[in-house]
Amino acid sequence: LKALEERLRNQKLARRIVEKIHKLAPVAVQRIGQTPIKIMDFCGTHEYTVTHYGIRSLMPPEVEIVAGPGCPVCITPAYYIDIAIKLSMEGIRVYTYGDAYRLPGSGKRGRDIRSLEEARAAGGDVIVVYSILDAIRMARRDKKPSLFLAVGFETTVPATASPVVAGLVPNNLKIMNIHRLTPPIMRFAFETHKDNPIRGVIAPGHVSTVIGVKSWKFVVDEYGIPTVVAGFEPIDVLLAILEILRQHIEGRPRIVNEYKRVATWEGNIRAQRIMSECCEEIDAAWRGIGFVPRSGLAFRDKYSHVDAFKQYGIKELTPDEWKYDLPPGCRCAEVTLGIVKPTDCPHFMKTCTPGTPYGPCMVSSEGACAVWARFGGGG
């Protein structure tokens, strides 16, 4: 593993790939008649690699890398955080992952408490866990009425669904299933860039291990965009960019799996079965963006006994009720859709910092604003 890691961070190799990118980029621009060639790195971890290793600063002017909506915490609507805060103050124990713990809600409920972290400081019952299994173990032990905040993309859904399907969730623990699905939001992102289209996608490696490389076929078939499922080391990302340019020059967009060491065409069939046994697709809200068709999951009726919406009488958000849920001036929705850069936000590193996040993209380690704050934007 160490040898593989060294190879994927090898500076000489990186330099050679960057040279090729510089050579091919003007040819690709000539071929497609668009400059710069806009490439979306969908996943928050890819944005981390791009920024941490200064990959943007190594690119020729013909290549622009934009961040994508691949941070599940950033896009979790404030509505659900408000509800979790309220329940935590009313005697329901809330179990949450660490990165959602500091996620701001709207601040309109629970005595202007903005996050679960603040709720806990004000006496709310909130516990940070590493996994749903921790929540199950503690709920069994403490017998308290509890809620698990199930946030995440397809990578985390099987972990939530497995104990539900296996009947391991105790009666006193209910789950707020607010998982989101990545292919529908990618489609949505393409539509928002229609006037200045995305011309390459670095597709998420982790998500692809679950749903399969096949899930991105629509990107090529319907939009004609070169797509590379890539790993998270700098060489992975550089190779993905080079491949996208090559495809433009050849005039033959296709899907390439650069992350063969982990992801397969079909993905994890067993995980997919558990997900579909447990959950069904629903139209769902994304923070600052609104409702995206079939982009969320809800428990199937046979699992309604674990469903916090049904068991705690929580109303699901509807498109009519959804309200713009970012704080004034926060440009998080545009950041996550790759329309603006974090530095375009007037709050960036002024009223919004990793220590005092004002908007959701500054909270999670995968949020583009938090990544740019730590590593300076990467050129």
List of residues contacting ligand SF4 (CB under 6 A): 330-332, 335, 342, 345, 347-348, 352, 358-359, 361-362, 369
Q: In terms of DSSP bridges, do strands 200-203 and 37-43 run parallel, antiparallel, or are they unpaired?
A: parallel
Task: For the CB of residue 229, give the shortest distance to ligand SF4 in the complex, in Å.
Answer: 27
Of 308 and 332, nearer to ligand SF4 (C-beta) is 332
Q: Give the C-alpha separation, 237 to 313, whole Å.
A: 45
Of 117 and 236, nearer to ligand SF4 (C-beta) is 117
Closest CA to 113 of 144, 86, 147, 142: 86
Task: For the CB of residue 187, give the shortest distance to ligand SF4 in the complex, in Å.
Answer: 23
Q: Reading across the β-sheet that carries 227-229, which strands appear in turn?
A: 63-70, 37-43, 200-203, 227-229, 255-257
Of 41 and 236, nearer to ligand SF4 (C-beta) is 41
Of 220 and 361, nearer to ligand SF4 (C-beta) is 361
Task: For the CB of residue 335, give the shortest distance to ligand SF4 in the complex, in Å.
Answer: 5
Half-sphere CA count of 110, side-chain side, radius 13 A: 31
Closest CA to 106 of 137, 131, 84, 91: 84
Residue type, 260: K
Q: Reading across the β-sheet that carries 126-128, which strands appear in turn?
A: 126-128, 93-96, 146-150, 173-177
Task: For the CB of residue 124, give the shortest distance to ligand SF4 in the complex, in Å.
Answer: 24
Of 188 and 348, nearer to ligand SF4 (C-beta) is 348
**Closest-approach residue to ligand SF4 (CB):** 359
Task: For the CB of residue 287, give the shortest distance to ligand SF4 in the complex, in Å.
Answer: 10
Q: Do the Cβ atoms of 61 and 36 come closer than 8 Å?
A: yes
Say if residue 159 is exposed, middle or buried (CB neighbours under 10 Å; 0-12, 13-18, 19+).
middle
Q: Would you give the distance in Å from CA 347 to the centre of its chain? A: 22
Task: For the CB of residue 364, give the shortest distance to ligand SF4 in the complex, in Å.
Answer: 10
Q: Could you give the angle at the alpha carbon of 326 between the alpha carbons of 325 and 327, nearest 5°?
A: 120
Of 178 and 361, nearer to ligand SF4 (C-beta) is 361
Of 298 and 368, nearer to ligand SF4 (C-beta) is 368
Task: For the CB of residue 43, give the shortest distance to ligand SF4 in the complex, in Å.
Answer: 18
How long a stretch of residues is the chain? 379
Return the DSSP state at 17.
H
Instruction: Compute CA distances 115 → 2, 222, 273, whole Å.
Output: 39, 40, 34
Of 259 and 372, nearer to ligand SF4 (C-beta) is 372
Task: For the CB of residue 153, give the shortest distance to ligand SF4 in the complex, in Å.
Answer: 19
